[in-house]
Amino acid sequence: MCGIIGYIGDRQAQSRLLKGLARLEYRGYDSCGIAVVTGGVEVYKDTVRVEALGKASPRFKGTMGIGHTRWATHGAPSQVNAHPHLDCTGNIAVVHNGVINNYQELRNQLTSEGHNFTSETDTEVIPHLIEKYYDGNLMGALQAALSDIEGSYAIIVLMTDEPKLVVAKKDSPLIIGLGDRENYIASDVPAILDYTDRVIYLEDGDIGVVTRNDIRIERDGIEVDREEHKVLWTVEEAQKAGYEHFFLKEIHEQPKVIRNTLGDYTRDAELVVDLAGIRDTGIESMLMIACGTSFHAALVGKYIMEELLKIPVRVEIASEFNYYSHTLVKNIALAIIQSGETADTLKAMKRLREAGCQVIAITNVVGSTASRIASQTIYTRAGPEISVAATKTFMAQLMVLYWLVMSYSKADARRLTSLLMELRQLPSKVQQVLDNETEIIEYAKYLSKYEDVFFIGRGINYPIALEGALKLKEISYIHAEGYAAGELKHGPFALLGSNTPVIAIVARDNTYEAMLTNIKEIKARGSPLIALAEEGNEAIEELADSIITVPRVDTIFSPVVNIVALQLLAYYTAKERGCPIDFPRNLAKSVTVE
Ligand code: AGP
């Protein structure tokens, strides 16, 4: 997920491009760049935030330009990998948001035809393809280039001596902002709202030419009309796509994040990370290290692996692991680290590498320190996560763990096929939980009155009790504790009573009867009880004071639907308490100190 922008008009393009890009940084901020036509094409790009780029870049005099703020997917953040990208002549410049799946083949083909590539990105094939097909018709050249490309894209192209911007859209957002003798193109409305509230939303398959006075959009070679809309949002509202907080927006992005993360790994066999160690040496055990929410994902991973790989799995909190004195055995280790910069986890990764372990990082940030320390890196495709409290990156980590384990599972073919089928249905199951938001809002209002709350779970949902408690703690400041349900009677029972509500995660698996017993024990001690359970569970309806229903899934996938309900519960509880949800006190998105 990157942010792109284009301007063509009578006024100086540079300041408008920079202002618009700054408004798009929630889409990616590891590097950025602009290109302005000043006679030739002038480019300035670097691994800095937009504000710094604006200060450092020379003044380019020109009324047509494009810009980009990046969230790296192919090629680590660097000056050469930043956009815009040029062709061999330097006359064609392109900015792109999306992923080109067949870029390697295209690159090899173009290189054999004499094109020189300077970056590691997938995007750079676009200006070279346009150069290859250009015969005086810039839109025609882009059209031809697109027929070679497989993947998702929002593209803006400019060329010296061509007083137009050419655009195309497929599976990535792209809008046109209408002005008076000027027009804007951007990934999203925040980029243009300072200048106009009149926009056209392009549709998949659209390709178009934008000049200062005119817009022509085609689809399959036929001109099409796209309706003009008036934007009623403020810039800030638009950055959050109309949601009040990034936290809520990111919760609602999870069906798409599941599709993106699974899509990447199940679509392209080549991308399948070959855990050579597992296949060749037939691994006997797995070590996972992480912190915070990522540690909870690792705990879920432990249950999945032990069930489907039949191997013992050790999960360690990185900050503790770093002070264990015992010698490290040669092993395969998974480091789960969304930011790629958490000091405790990086230190543990270095220790493991020094001990000769194969360390595989699961991270959301391309080019992060973790991806440089790791022997291999698997990227989650959650896009940038702005809210400090992690939600969609946790979901993407679970998807990578499901995919990884199912790729090596020893389960019988029938079980595996049914699990794969259900894995593909997870986006719609999660959507069902999101559609049930109103029910959760009621329970949040109730919960917001309390200062102490317990979450309990068993088996694969014990980590979800921990994660549910962490989310509530982080954003509502309620003292919430997550427990393995069987542990309560060994002490925490002492805290139960009418002022300590308990949220019980009830799964229909071998822990079901034991959980019913725990619920009865809790009720007997006077605590209000909210159960999180599948629809149509009479026994729970009798026992619990209230029930948050989630759709029925195979138990191994129950963490996916359960955590979304608990994320929403935390959000609406915090909202009821008027908390600064996206940027809670005392917390940082990436903890880069020990
Ligand atoms: C989660 O909401 C928190 N932001 C925090 O616990 C976080 O998960 C932890 O700091 C680990 O971050 P990482 O995944 O980037 O290593």
Q: What is the DSSP string of 523-574?
A: HHTT--EEEEEESS-HHHHHH-SEEEEE----GGGHHHHHHHHHHHHHHHHH
**Sheet with 198-201, edge to edge strand ranges:** 41-46, 31-37, 64-70, 3-8, 183-186, 175-178, 198-201, 228-230
pLDDT at 496: 97
Q: How far is the CA of 292 from the centre of ligand 1 (A)?
A: 5
d(C-alpha 122, C-alpha 512), whole Å: 49
pLDDT at 326: 63
Please report the sign of the dihedral spanned by the C-alpha atoms of residue 512, residue 517, residue 520, residue 521. negative
- Phi, psi at residue 519, to the nearest 5°? -65, -40
Question: Counting atoms of ligand 1 from 1, which one is nearest the CA of 591?
Answer: 10
Question: Coil, strand, or helix at residue 288?
Answer: strand
Cα(291) to centroid(ligand 1), Å = 6
Residue 401 near residue 533 (C-beta atoms within 8 A): no
**Average pLDDT, rounded, for the chain:** 92
Atom 6 of ligand 1, residue of closest alpha carbon: 292
* Confidence at 593, pLDDT banded by 50, 70, 90: confident
Spacing, Cα 590 to ligand 1 middle (Å): 7
Q: For residues 448 and 570, what is the distance between their CA atoms, to the nearest angstrom?
A: 9
Report the DSSP pairing between strands 313-317 and 286-290.
Answer: parallel
Ligand 1 centre to CA of 505 (Å) is 23
The model's confidence at residue 227, banded by pLDDT at 50, 70 and 90, is very high
Give the pLDDT confidence score for residue 264 in this predicted structure. 63
Which atom, in ligand 1's list, is nearest to the CA of 292? 6
- Any ligand 1 atom below 6 A from CB of 345: yes
Q: How confident is the model at residue 414 (pLDDT cuts 50, 70, 90)?
A: confident
Assess whether the C-beta atom of 293 lies below 6 angstroms from ligand 1. yes
387 close to ligand 1 (CB < 6 Angstrom): no
**Number of other residues whose CB lies within 10 A of the CB of residue 117:** 15
Q: Is the pLDDT of residue 506 over 50?
A: yes
What would the pLDDT profile of 476-496 be if each residue is shown by its tens digit?
999 999 999 999 999 999 999
Distance 390 CA to ligand 1 centre (A): 7
What pLDDT is recorded for position 270? 42
Pick from 24-28, 91-95, 515-519: least confident = 24-28
Q: DSSP for 372-412, please give it.
A: HHSSEEEE-------SSS-SHHHHHHHHHHHHHHHHS--S-
Strand partners, 24: none
At residue 236, does pLDDT exceed 80? no
| Residues catalogued as catalytic | 2, 589
Tell me the helices (H) and strands (E) count for the chain, helix number first.
20, 25
Q: 591 CB under 6 A from ligand 1?
A: yes
Does residue 292 have its Cβ closer than 6 Å to ligand 1? yes
Q: Cβ(294) to ligand 1 under 6 A?
A: yes
- Strand order of the β-sheet with 206-210 is 85-86, 92-97, 153-159, 162-170, 206-210, 215-219, 222-224
Q: Find the 449 Cα to ligand 1 centroid distance in Å.
A: 27
- Separation CA 67–CA 195 (nearest Å): 16
Q: Measure 249 CA to ligand 1 centroid, in angstroms.
A: 18
586: amino acid identity, one letter: N
Question: Which candidate, 98, 35, 30, 33, places its Cα nearest to that of 70?
Answer: 30
State percent of the chain over pLDDT 70.
Answer: 95
319 lines ligand 1 (CB under 6 A): no
The number of the ligand 1 atom at minimal distance from the alpha carbon of 471 is: 2
Question: What is the per-residue pLDDT for 240?
Answer: 85
Beta-sheet pairing, 376-379 with 358-363: parallel
CA of 579 to the centre of ligand 1 (A): 19
Query: Which residue, chain included where needed, has tokens 């200006």?
Result: 127
- What are 261-303's pLDDT values in tens digits? 887 665 444 444 445 455 455 567 889 999 999 999 999 999 9
Cα separation, 534 vs 561, in Å, equals 10
In which region does residue 118 sit, left (phi positive, over 0), alpha (psi from -120 to 50) or beta (all else)? alpha
- Which atom of ligand 1 is the closest one to the Cα of 336? 14
What average pLDDT does range 52-70 have in this prediction?
96
SS3 assignment, position 82: coil
Structure-model confidence comparison of residues 111 and 286, the more confident one:
111
- pLDDT, tens digit, for every residue of 184-199? 999 999 899 999 999 9
Question: Could you tell me if the CB of 584 is within 6 A of ligand 1?
Answer: no
Mutational pocket test of ligand 1: of 289, 291, 467, 471, the residue with most ligand atoms within 8 Å of the beta carbon: 291
Average pLDDT over residues 40-68: 96
For residues 58 and 44, is the Cβ–Cβ distance under 8 A? yes
What pLDDT shows up at residue 325? 66
Per the structure block, which two tokens stand in for 80? 């050469």
Q: Is 447 in the pocket of ligand 1 (CB under 6 A)?
A: no
Q: CB–CB of 199/229 below 8 Å?
A: yes
| 474 CB within 6 A, ligand 1 | yes
Residue 580 CB: number of other CB atoms within 10 A?
A: 12
Distance, C-alpha 457 to centroid of its chain: 26
Pick the closest to residue 8 from 221, 192, 190 (CA basis).
192
Ligand 1 atom at minimum distance from 340 CA:
15
Q: Ligand 1, residues 299, 339, 345: which to mutate, most atoms within 8 A of Cβ? A: 339
> Which atom of ligand 1 is least distant from the CA of 397?
14
Find out whether the beta carbon of 467 lies less than 6 Å from any atom of ligand 1. Answer: no
Check pocket membership of 338 for ligand 1, CB cut-off 6 A.
Answer: yes
What is the 341 CA–ligand 1 centroid distance (Å)?
10
More confident residue, 420 or 130: 130
- Per-residue pLDDT tens digits for 507-560: 999 999 999 999 999 999 999 999 999 988 888 989 999 999 999 999 999 999
Taking the CA of residue 590 as reference, the ligand 1 atom at the shortest distance is 15
Comparing 28-37, 218-227, 376-385, 511-520, which segment has the lowest mean pLDDT? 376-385
For the entire predicted model, the pTM comes to 0.82
